[in-house]
Amino acid sequence: MFTRLSLLAFVLLAVASPMFAQGTTNTGGGIVLTNAFSMALASGLCALAQGRAVAGAAEAIARNPGAGAVIRGLGLLGLIFIESLALYTLVIIFVKG
């Protein structure tokens, strides 16, 4: 186990050493990677939340069909708020980048 960790540390240091040798020029590659990671994280979590919200709304309508209109309206409002998280992240990426 120790040999694997030491090999991993050596490889990480070998890969990172050209990054430290760049000097003062900054190409902005880290910013693009950060933007892509934050958008991927926000989109993935939004997809999970929307799936759970739709599943909960469908289950609630199945249990009480008389309240279907209210549940559907509140579910749609919840989906709008969940999707706004991804849109806010996209706006922040464009403003920052």
At 8-26, the pLDDT tens digits run 777 666 666 655 555 555 5
Every domain of the chain and the residues it spans: 29-96
What CA–CA distances, in Å, run from 64 to 54, 56, 60, 67, 88? 15, 12, 6, 6, 34
pLDDT over 80 at 45, yes or no:
yes
Given a contact cutoff of 8 angstroms between Cβ atoms, the answer to whether 78 and 58 are in contact is no
Tell me, yes or no, if the pTM score tops 0.75. no
Q: List the one residue out of 40, 76, 32, 84 whose CA is nearest residue 57.
A: 76
In a 13 Å sphere around the CA of 22, the CA atoms on its Cβ side amount to: 11
Residue 89 corresponds to which tokens in the numbers above? 């992240």
User: 49 Cβ partners below 8 Å, 6+ apart?
Assistant: 82
The amino acid at residue 29 is G
How high is the pLDDT of residue 90? 87
Query: Domain 29-96 has what CATH class?
Result: mainly alpha
How high is the pLDDT of residue 74? 93
Separation CA 19–CA 49 (nearest Å): 37
